[in-house]
Amino acid sequence: MKGPLRFADIFSTHIQRQGVPRMRSFLFSVLFVIVAAGASAQAVERKPMAIAPILEQQAEIRDGVIAGTGRYKNIPASKRVDLLSKQAGLMEMLKGKTSTDDLSEPQRIEAFNTLEYIEAAINGTDDERMICHREKVIGTTRITRVCRTVADDRRFREEARERMEHGDPFGQR
């Protein structure tokens, strides 16, 4: 008896029988299946969130911001006004809803962006805040959600502006 069969043994035997080009084709096929499975798993994993806890948390934040106490005391007045305004719009949008499934995709994105803004305003971390938007995939009718930090978004815009100013819109140089 030879002992347990190892993957390396199978791999080297397959190469000897099939040759390198067939093996390369096989590996690309396996890689494609893994990537496709990962992409489909990501698309399915969205779970709806209950709206009531979000509204409760926002009411607590609102009371603290208005009182100007605790972790809210160092927020500048202009930022407080902005925060309360965005929060009022969010609460109006969520009124009468029980879960995030009751919102359209653009409304979910707007709610996410608003909640991120509120958190960043409280913590003073605006560059780390995530912002999302819907973007059409070039050459298709498919629309995807794209999310990145404020700092990344600013960097992408600056790089694009620099490429346009230097006559290299696609970064080919």
Q: Which DSSP symbol is given to 75? A: S
Per-residue pLDDT reduced to its tens digit, 63-107: 999 999 888 999 999 999 999 999 999 999 999 999 999 999 999
**CA pair distance 136, 67, nearest whole angstrom:** 43
pLDDT score for 67: 94
Residue 106: helix, strand or coil by DSSP? helix
Checking 69-73 for CB contacts under 8 A at 24+ apart, the result is: 71/122, 72/122
Whole-model pTM: value is 0.65
Q: Which DSSP symbol is given to 97? A: -
Asked if 77 and 83 touch (Cβ cutoff 8 Å), the reply is no
**CA pair distance 69, 64, nearest whole angstrom:** 6
Per-residue pLDDT reduced to its tens digit, 122-154: 998 889 999 999 999 889 999 999 999 999 999
Joined together, the tokens standing for residue 113 give 């962006």
